[in-house]
Amino acid sequence: MGRMEHNLSVKTDYISAFGNQHDGVIEIVGIVPGGVIEVGYFYGDAKPKNIVDISTQVGCPMSCSFCELGSERFVRNLTAQEIADQVTLMLDIAQKHGIDTARVPHKVTIAKTGEPLLNPHVREGLERIATLSQSFKISTVYPHNCHERLKEIADFASHYQRTVQLQISLISTSEEYRRKTAGKGVAGFEEIRAGAHYWREKNPTGRKINLSLILTEDVPCDVRSVRHIFPPELFRFRFRNYVPTTNGTSAGLHTLPQQKFEQILEEFRTVGYDVNEAATPTPTELKFGLAANVTRRRYLEMTGQTVRDV
Ligand code: SF4
């Protein structure tokens, strides 16, 4: 471990590298006071930018039923420094794995452990990372009543010289299914639309807001129930076929056959949506079952810690 890593507020004792330079993933478990978090690095031919994927909380209050955190309790919000240090640590590790990190463009995605719109330090964390000139993607399930936090991030995005993409995990096109699947209160569709309008007002030339759906056999997905609420001028859809995970499989989730998956994408295209398939798991992600927080769960199992212990 390099000299710099000793000074960071996030440490690691577990680094795993998968695939090769054409389709590679590096996953680490970050150790912070109170528990462990996951940080990822994704790269390869299919990606225009290398991606550093970071966490915002130890545990998560939302308890979504499809998440690898399962029923693990929420411990605390990461500080702005801990949010920023994950990027520094991961870039250093990627460099040691032969990636010339100073030369390739990066995107920092916030989509690992925790819900970013529940952490009051996220805006400051983004500002600290911004000194490295990355583009960003903030991925949220959009909890109920988090408009103030969304505003802070929208304001940050309006001043930042690079892209800040907002991605909302819609879970389903059925509001009822969405509410049932997230353990704690999530925003309804009208609340999401109001937040999106604010975002657009602040970022009139920015990208459309991504609404993401992870499709399984059982997730209700019908374009007719959302077309009137989420206008295609403001939103685009991003689909991912389900990567089987331990928690998801025990909750009875099943991957959708490819033909059905593509048929759903076509239905969304037909009514005017931009449909983004870049979210499709790569062969390396599929082969090793690398959905968010899977590496973290494996780490806890390998080190003999149960979810209750952490
Ligand atoms: S999916 Fe995201 S918001 Fe839901 S429990 Fe997992 S980390 Fe939290």
Task: Return d(Cα 54, Cα 110) in angstroms, integer.
Answer: 5
Interval between CA 250 and ligand 1 midpoint (Å): 17
| pLDDT tens per residue, range 3-41 | 456 689 999 999 999 999 999 999 999 999 999 999 999
| Band of pLDDT at residue 1, cut at 50, 70 and 90 | very low
Asked if residue 109 lies in contact with residue 139, where contact means CB atoms within 8 angstroms, the answer is yes
| Band of pLDDT at residue 305, cut at 50, 70 and 90 | confident
| Band of pLDDT at residue 278, cut at 50, 70 and 90 | low
pLDDT for position 252: 76
Asked if residue 192 lies in contact with residue 240, where contact means CB atoms within 8 angstroms, the answer is no
User: Domain for residue 170, yes or no?
Assistant: yes
| pLDDT tens per residue, range 227-273 | 999 999 999 999 988 777 777 777 777 888 889 989 999 999 999 99
User: Domain for residue 41, yes or no?
Assistant: yes
- The total of structural domains in the chain comes to 1
User: Domain for residue 244, yes or no?
Assistant: no
For 33, 57, 120, the CA distances from 80, given in Å and listed in that order, are 14, 11, 9
Strands (DSSP E) contained in 21-163 are 23-32, 35-44, 50-54, 57-58, 76-77, 106-110, 135-140
Ligand 1, pocket-test mutation among 60, 142, 167, 170, most atoms within 8 A of CB: 60
User: Domain for residue 251, yes or no?
Assistant: no
Interval between CA 96 and ligand 1 midpoint (Å): 30
Write the DSSP symbol of residue 118. Answer: G
Task: Return d(Cα 309, Cα 59) in angstroms, integer.
Answer: 12
User: Domain for residue 253, yes or no?
Assistant: no
| pLDDT tens per residue, range 178-233 | 999 887 899 999 999 999 999 999 998 888 999 999 888 888 999 999 999 999 99
pTM of the predicted protein model: 0.92
Q: Which domain holds residue 286?
A: 3-212+281-303
- DSSP state string for 157-183: HHH-SS-EEEEEE---S-HHHHHHHSS
Task: Return d(Cα 114, Cα 67) in angstroms, integer.
Answer: 10
306: pLDDT strictly greater than 80: no
User: Domain for residue 149, yes or no?
Assistant: yes
pLDDT-above-90 percentage for the chain: 73
Interval between CA 208 and ligand 1 midpoint (Å): 23
Residues composing the chain: 310
> Half-sphere exposure (CA, 13 Å, Cβ side) for 194?
10
Ligand 1 touching residue 141 (CB < 6 A): yes
Ligand 1, pocket-test mutation among 138, 139, 141, most atoms within 8 A of CB: 141
pLDDT for position 28: 98
User: Domain for residue 155, yes or no?
Assistant: yes
Interval between CA 147 and ligand 1 midpoint (Å): 18
User: Domain for residue 43, yes or no?
Assistant: yes
* Residue 114 CB partners (closer than 8 Å, separation 6+): 37, 55, 56, 57, 58, 59, 60, 77, 78
| Band of pLDDT at residue 133, cut at 50, 70 and 90 | confident
Indicate the SS3 state at residue 116. Answer: helix
CATH number for the domain spanning 12: value is: 3.20.20.70
